[in-house]
Amino acid sequence: MWWLIAAVGLGIPLVVTAMPEFGMFAVGAVAGAVTAALGGGTVAQFLVFVVVSIALVAVVRPIANRHRGQGPRLASGIDALKGRSATVLERVDAGNGGRIKLAGEIWSARALDGDRVYEPGQQVDVVEIEGATALVI
């Protein structure tokens, strides 16, 4: 019973401070309560609490820290157009270029590969955007 009270007691600062370590210790306390329910002695209960808590801190905390610094990976502007498919409207080559329909808009385009020529109606992929020109393959 005391382990469950400890788990709730550790859960409160988790909610208030948003520090995940308190949650890991609360899980360790629940593991101690399970050990007590299975008939484990006081020493076994404390060992289970310590081992589970330390294991969670050692495994989960580095993962959480790695993800904490990353923001959402949302591409916007021209970065959102890279990798998208487009339809050739006017012949596209590496020299004079041509026109494509990309994301509902008409863009000037050039072939990334100097030997390739894309005819109207073909699907191409945008590799890069240079100014107002899409480089396609």
Same domain, 7 and 50: yes
Averaged pLDDT for residues 36-46 = 93
Q: Of all helices (H) and strands (E), which one includes residue 130?
A: strand 123-130
Cβ(111)–Cβ(136) below 8 Å: yes
Give the pLDDT band (50/70/90) at residue 1: confident
Q: At which residue do the structure tokens 């382990």 appear?
A: 3
pLDDT in tens, 78-113: 888 898 999 999 999 988 889 999 989 999 999 998
Domain match, 7 and 51 both: yes
- The boundaries of the domain holding residue 51 are 1-69
- The pTM (predicted TM-score) of the whole model is 0.48
- pLDDT surpasses 70 at 72: no
Q: Taking 90 as the threshold, does the pLDDT of residue 7 lie above it?
A: no
